Amino acid sequence: MRLENLADRFDAQSSNTSYFNLNKFANQFYQDVNEGELPAALQIDETDLSGNMKEAERESKNQNIWIGKNDGSHLSFT
């Protein structure tokens, strides 16, 4: 499942901080899908945007190298 914050302080310029209990949501979601049965275990992992690699692993591999305007790139900037 992919979740995103559409009301984060970066985009909305809000001074309020919203909180979301991911463990509670995941447990309730599991129960809803499995007719009230409780999960035997629950594991939540943050992944990269493509969802195929854990975020900590991506960070350790320095997977993405972003190219900026003044870093010697040969790409044209418009």
Nearest Cα to Cα of residue 58 among 69, 49, 66, 71? 49
Q: Please tell me the distance from the alpha carbon of residue 32 to that of residue 15, in angstroms, as a whole number.
A: 34
When pLDDT is cut at 50, 70 and 90, the band that residue 3 belongs to is: confident
Residues 7, 14 contacting (CB under 8 angstroms): yes
What is the value of pTM for the model shown?
A: 0.56
**Which one has a higher pLDDT value, 1 or 25?**
25
Residues 6+ apart with CB under 8 A from 39: 26, 27, 30, 31
